[in-house]
Amino acid sequence: EEVMLRSGLPVGSLPTGLCYDERMRFHCEVRPTSDVHPEDPRRIWYIYKELCRAGLVDDPISTRPLAPQTLQRINARKATEEEITMIHTDAHYAFVKSTADMSDDDLVLLEREKDSIYFNDLTFASSILSAGGAIETCLAVAQRKVKNAIAVIRPPGHHAEHNEAMGFCLFNNVSVAARVCQKELGEKCRKIMILDWDVHHGNGIQKAFYEDPNVLYVSIHVHQNGRFYPGGPAGDWDHCGEGPGLGRNINIPWPDQGMGDGDYMWAFQKVVMPIATEFNPDLVIISAGFDAAAGDVLGGCFVSPPCYAQMTHMLMTLADGKIAVCLEGGYNFRSISKSALAVAKTLMGEPPDRLMNTIPTEAAKATVGRVMNIQAQHWRCMFPKPPS
């Protein structure tokens, strides 16, 4: 049955949104070495080109006839200081801003002090556009200006903490966007689910909402004895939130042995979808890194484009379909382009392709079983079934 908007139009007739802004490519290494950094400005350009190639974007560079349905542009804008400091400290905002006026020598020195982060004089500009792009994308979805949307943004955000830039991340785009939506839209957007399928743990998002009952953070990431970035115990399965936020943090930490479609589907069927349905969010935001994709050297996993499509499709059953996809990591140009295209097509209503492999590994079942056991303390849907 079709869901109707107040305007009388069916939701299905609204377009899917796309946020992309060339200027987010300005952030790059000030002194590139022989081997290029994986968080390369071309990442977002390759994804955009793939969407154009498929005829989904009305752009002069598009070489193919336009598809019957195209993506509706969402303009990225600069996030304001007020918005950024809903998550970050004034000092952190001031620090990132100050890098715009530093000399190249100072920027190189700064890079050595920090954990997996580089700067140039346009890092700040790109970072506030990336956060502002996430904000505009999430607001457009939450306000039903579009059916759903994808934000092809960089630099990524999920590792950035209140006072810390780390792991290629300056500002926590998705966390800032979630807070802005709650503040601007009130009761209409109180409960937000953030699903993080980037292969790394989104320590920054977890920390920002650890005691918040209204933000459900679910992360699927490689994490074996804290050895995979960012390391430390924060990404373990027994980190479930604190105080009023207890049970609103779900970590699904894979061992480092190359997980694939069957494992992700198992996690979605057994944990992600049941808990998400019980939580019943007003908005779903995906921290969509494509570094668990087959072909990604940093991730070492094997997720296929149809599996990303399938995960998107499942999440679209929540929040009346209000889902905003925000790019995080993903380093193989081809893998991220194909994966993002599959997600965009799914958002636009195309049924996902069939998966080649749907069988979970024993290691995945063991991890998911541990998560179910601990989350049974917080979620009715996780109770073991009584014998029939």
Q: Under the rule (CB under 6 A), what is the footprint of ligand 6DK?
A: 37-38, 116, 156, 158-159, 167-169, 198, 200, 229, 289, 291, 298, 328-329
Half-sphere exposure of 278 (CA within 13 A, CB side): 15
Residue 223 CB, nearest approach to Zn ion (Å) = 12
Lay out the site mask for Zn ion across 240-269 (x = CB under 5 A, - = otherwise): ------------------------------
> Residue 232 and residue 78: Cα distance in Å, rounded?
33
- Between 21 and 328, name the residue whose CB sits nearer to ligand 6DK: 328
CB 201 within 8 A of CB 231: no
Question: What minimum distance in Å lies between the beta carbon of 198 and ligand 6DK?
Answer: 5
Active site residue 37: no
Output the smallest distance, CB 330 to ligand 6DK, in A.
7
Tokens of 126: 């790109």
176: which residues sit within 8 A by CB, 6+ positions away? Answer: 79, 83, 84, 86, 87, 88, 131, 134, 135, 157
If contact means CB under 5 to 8 A according to the sort of partner, which of Zn ion, ligand 6DK, none does residue 352 touch? none
* Number of CB atoms found within 10 A of residue 203's CB: 26
Give which of ligand 6DK, Zn ion, none residue 305 binds (C-beta under 5 to 8 Å, depending on kind). Answer: none
The answer to whether 345 contacts Zn ion (rule: CB under 5 A) is: no
Check binding of 289 to Zn ion (CB under 5 A). Answer: yes
Shortest distance, CB of residue 199 to Zn ion, whole angstroms? 5
The span from the CA of 150 to the CA of 284, in Å, is 12
> Judged by CB, which is closer to ligand 6DK: 15, or 300?
300
Number of H helices, E strands in the chain: 12, 8
Nearer to ligand 6DK, 146 or 153 (CB): 153
* Residue 360 site contact among Zn ion, ligand 6DK, none (CB < 5 to 8 Å, cut-off depends on kind): none
- Beta strand 72-74 with 16-19: parallel, antiparallel or unpaired? parallel
Identify what 196 binds: ligand 6DK, Zn ion, none; CB under 5 to 8 Å per kind. none
Closer by beta carbon to ligand 6DK, 135 or else 292: 292
DSSP assignments along 118-173, one per residue = ---TTHHHHHHHHHHHHHHHHHHHHTTSSSEEEE--SS--TT-BTTB-BTTBSS-H
| Single-letter code of the amino acid located at 193 | M
**Measured at the alpha carbon of residue 41, what is the angle toward residues 131 and 305, in degrees to the nearest 5?**
85
- Of 56 and 129, nearer to ligand 6DK (C-beta) is 129
Nearer to ligand 6DK, 205 or 216 (CB): 205
Q: Which residue is nearest to ligand 6DK (CB)?
A: 329
Q: Considering the complex, what minimum distance in angstroms separates the CB of residue 159 from ligand 6DK?
A: 5
From the list 291, 310, 314, 360, which residue makes contact with Zn ion (rule: CB under 5 A)? 291
168's contact among Zn ion, ligand 6DK, none, with CB below 5 to 8 A by partner kind, is: ligand 6DK
Torsional class of 13: left (φ above 0), alpha (ψ -120 to 50), beta (otherwise)? alpha
Cβ of residue 269: shortest distance to Zn ion, in angstroms? Answer: 23
- SS3 percent helix, strand, coil of the chain, rounded to 5, is 40, 15, 45
Answer with the entry of Zn ion, ligand 6DK, none that 338 interacts with (C-beta below 5 to 8 A by kind).
none
Q: What are the tokens at 376?
A: 């049974």
Instruction: Considering the complex, state which of residue 285 and residue 298 has its C-beta at the smaller distance from ligand 6DK.
Output: 298
Catalytic residue among 88, 159, 200, 223: 159
Dist. CA 162–CA 230, nearest whole Å: 16
Mark 307-336 with x for binding to Zn ion (rule: CB under 5 A) and - for no binding: ----------------------x-------
The span from the CA of 297 to the CA of 332, in Å, is 7
Q: How far is the CB of 220 from Zn ion (least distance, A)?
A: 11
Work out whether 200 is an interface residue with Zn ion (CB under 5 A): yes
**Binds 151, which of Zn ion, ligand 6DK, none (CB < 5 to 8 A, cut-off by type)?**
none
Closest to 221 (Cα-Cα) out of 190, 189, 264:
264
Q: Which residue has the tokens 């965009």?
A: 344
Site residues, Zn ion (CB under 5 A)? 198, 200, 289, 291, 329
Q: Which of the residues are catalytic?
A: 159
